[in-house]
């Protein structure tokens, strides 16, 4: 039930100057570290590099412990990674078409890092920056809060933006991610996402094709050849995208062009706590089940289609379909799709994004 902090002093200068240069010299006051949240035999490790979830360890139905998220052993490896393992991505997650948008009659141009589009906040989005450790608290429900100010013009986005994320062990085998963003002086799009890859059998154990998944959505936002939403809402009933009832991931994955990578429009009722049921994932081999709730309107269901024997933690190599990402979010490219719910936040407003993971076994 304690929160334990270990720091990597040798990594500070290398990270701040070699990766980010003088323009981000303010980050040098923050030491990159690995921080542990622990409640009994439930343990989560995070780093303030990219506000990244590094590991989630919990028992299975036989009491065997395993780390159920993909990733790396050290923060240095996350700095050089390309798959956003465990990272908090932003200022705008997912894709923005043609790496540009117009807001208040001004067009903003962003770095293109996914063909001609912008992906997950740009070349040096939130996932590749050092965050300040704002608060860390132990006790029965340990938590840690990371903070950074995204300045006006960072990766092309307008206005200063104060961003907070809190990782908390909020109950027995319950893990909460609480993201908040506050525009300081200009309206800006905000769409944060937590990009953890889950494998409930344990990272490095093989693929997730035998997992069952249920997603609380009757529609998807279909995409074009560049994975940009067309602006439509398409029913999933009778298609390979239908997970309204629990379905085996691998049963129809060959029918969707290499794997799932699509936003679902959530339609489950909002509960009194402001959250709605998003998805349930079960690994029958270990008995582990993960239930996800959130206050967001969409969730990106991604089956790690681009992993190709990628070297991860503990000497493991991750083949294609090694993990499942369930990234609650606003609809992708909403800043360019007026029919989608707006993700623009103005000064005086607060962006709030909550995710609650509940595990059983």
pLDDT of residue 210: 97
Residue 219 falls in the annotated catalytic set: no
Residue 316 falls in the annotated catalytic set: no
List pLDDT tens digits, range 216-254.
Answer: 999 999 999 999 999 999 999 999 999 999 999 999 999
* Residue 114 or 257, more confident: 114
Which strands, in side-by-side order, build the sheet including 234-235?
A: 234-235, 217-221, 261-266, 298-302, 325-329
What percent of the chain has pLDDT above 90? 91
- Tell me: pLDDT of 12 over 50: no
pLDDT of residue 185: 98
Mean pLDDT of 302-308: 96
Cβ burial, residue 61 (10 Å; 0-12/13-18/19+): middle
Mean pLDDT of 168-181: 98
pLDDT of residue 82: 87
pLDDT of residue 173: 98
List pLDDT tens digits, range 14-62.
Answer: 344 334 333 343 443 479 999 999 999 999 999 999 999 999 999 999 9
Instruction: List Cβ neighbours of 264 (8 Å cut-off, separation of 6 or more).
Output: 215, 217, 219, 220, 221, 236, 241, 243, 298, 299, 300, 301
* Residue 13 or 258, more confident: 258
CA distances from 131 to 19, 30, 46, 262 (A): 14, 7, 12, 29
Smallest CA-to-CA distance from 33 within 95, 64, 78, 67 is with 78
Give the pLDDT band of residue 257 (cuts 50, 70, 90).
confident
Point out the catalytic residue in the list 120, 128, 195, 353.
Answer: 195
- Tell me: pLDDT of 7 over 80: no
List pLDDT tens digits, range 127-169.
Answer: 999 999 999 999 999 999 999 999 999 999 999 999 999 999 9
pLDDT of residue 26: 40
pTM exceeds 0.85 for this model: yes
Mean pLDDT of 3-15: 42
Point out the catalytic residue in the list 128, 203, 327, 353.
Answer: 327
pLDDT of residue 207: 98
pLDDT of residue 27: 43
- Tell me: pLDDT of 11 over 70: no
pLDDT of residue 158: 98
What percent of the chain has pLDDT above 70? 92
CA distances from 64 to 57, 60, 70, 281, 334 (A): 10, 5, 18, 19, 43
How confident is the prediction for the chain on average, in pLDDT? 93
Q: Which residues of 329-346 are buried (b: 16+ CB within 10 A; e: fewer)?
A: bbbbbbbbbeebeebbbe
Smallest CA-to-CA distance from 92 within 338, 332, 263, 342 is with 332
User: Which tokens hold the place of 334?
Assistant: 């909403």
- Of 3-7, 123-127, 194-198, 281-285, the poorest mean pLDDT is in 3-7
């Amino acid at each position: 039930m304690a929160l334990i902090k270990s720091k990597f002093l040798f990594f500070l200068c290398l990270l701040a100057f070699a990766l980010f240069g003088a323009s981000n010299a303010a980050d040098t006051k923050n030491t990159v570290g690995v921080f542990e949240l622990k409640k009994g035999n439930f343990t989560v490790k995070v780093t303030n590099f990219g506000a990244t979830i590094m590991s989630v360890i919990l028992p299975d139905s036989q009491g065997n412990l395993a780390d159920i998220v993909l990733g790396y052993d050290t923060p240095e490896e996350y700095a050089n990674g390309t798959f956003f393992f465990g990272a908090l991505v932003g200022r705008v997650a997912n894709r923005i078409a043609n790496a540009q948008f117009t807001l208040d009659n001004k067009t903003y141009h962003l770095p293109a890092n996914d063909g001609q589009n912008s992906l997950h906040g740009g070349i040096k989005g939130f996932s590749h920056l050092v965050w300040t450790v704002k608060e860390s608290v132990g006790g029965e429900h340990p938590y840690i809060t990371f903070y950074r100010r995204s300045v006006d013009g960072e990766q092309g986005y307008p206005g200063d933006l104060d961003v907070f994320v809190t990782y908390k062990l909020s109950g027995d085998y319950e893990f909460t991610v609480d993201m908040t963003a506050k525009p300081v002086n200009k309206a800006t799009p905000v769409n944060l996402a937590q990009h953890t890859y889950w494998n409930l059998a344990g990272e490095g154990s093989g693929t997730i094709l035998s997992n069952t998944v249920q997603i609380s959505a009757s529609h998807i936002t279909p995409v074009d050849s560049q994975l940009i939403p067309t602006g439509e809402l398409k029913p999933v009933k009778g298609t390979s995208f239908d997970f309204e009832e629990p379905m085996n991931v691998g049963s129809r994955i060959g029918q969707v062009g290499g794997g799932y990578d699509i936003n679902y429009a959530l339609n489950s009722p909002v509960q009194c706590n402001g959250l709605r049921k998003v998805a349930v994932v079960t690994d029958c081999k270990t008995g582990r089940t993960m239930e996800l709730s959130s206050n967001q309107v969409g969730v990106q269901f991604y089956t790690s289609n681009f992993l190709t024997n990628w070297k991860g933690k503990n000497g493991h190599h991750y083949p294609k379909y090694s993990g499942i990402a369930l990234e609650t979010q606003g609809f992708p490219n909403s800043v360019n799709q007026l029919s989608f719910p707006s993700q623009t936040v103005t000064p005086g407003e607060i962006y709030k994004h909550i995710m609650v993971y509940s595990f059983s076994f």
